[in-house]
Amino acid sequence: MEKDFGAKILLIGGSSERSSGEEIIKDRRNSIVNLIGKTSYMESAEIIRRCNLLISNDCGPVHLAAAVRTPVVGIYSSRDFPGAWHPWGIIHTVLRNDSVSCRFCFKTECETMECINSITVEQVIEACQRYL
């Protein structure tokens, strides 16, 4: 994505996610800045405030982005009703698949994760194009 949009990619998250971050940047160390586990909550908010866009699953940084008015492309499961945990405001794009038969299951763990795995990379890129 950074080649297509001239974007700089930053990774943020808690220290428990460090290994995931290392896996993501494994072959791309020079094009991605890995800040996972290196920032406080308030530092993360400031980093997000300076960004043009946050791409994320349903997690705390989504709500930080909404608070600092940074647009979000959110990738959500269909386990809850639409809007239950989405970022507040109208500047965001939420991707979710409510066509699966198991929608609104309210499960905290799922074997198939069909609803979220059915969201394609192409859908995410298309959603990002309006912001970048």
Beta carbons of 103 and 77 less than 8 angstroms apart: no
What is the distance, to the nearest Å, from the Cα of residue 60 to the centroid of all Cα atoms in its chain?
Answer: 10
| 72 Cα distance to chain centroid | 7
Euclidean distance between CA atoms 58 and 74, whole angstroms: 7
Element (H, E) at 94: strand 93-95
pLDDT digit string, tens, across residues 4-19? 678 889 999 999 999 9
* 3-class secondary structure, 55: strand
- What are the structural domain ranges in the chain? 1-39, 52-132
> pLDDT confidence of 2, banded at 50, 70, 90?
low
pLDDT at position 59: 92
pLDDT digits (tens, 9 = 90+) for 65-110: 999 999 999 999 999 998 888 999 999 999 999 999 999 999 989 9
Mean pLDDT calculated for residue range 42-68: 96
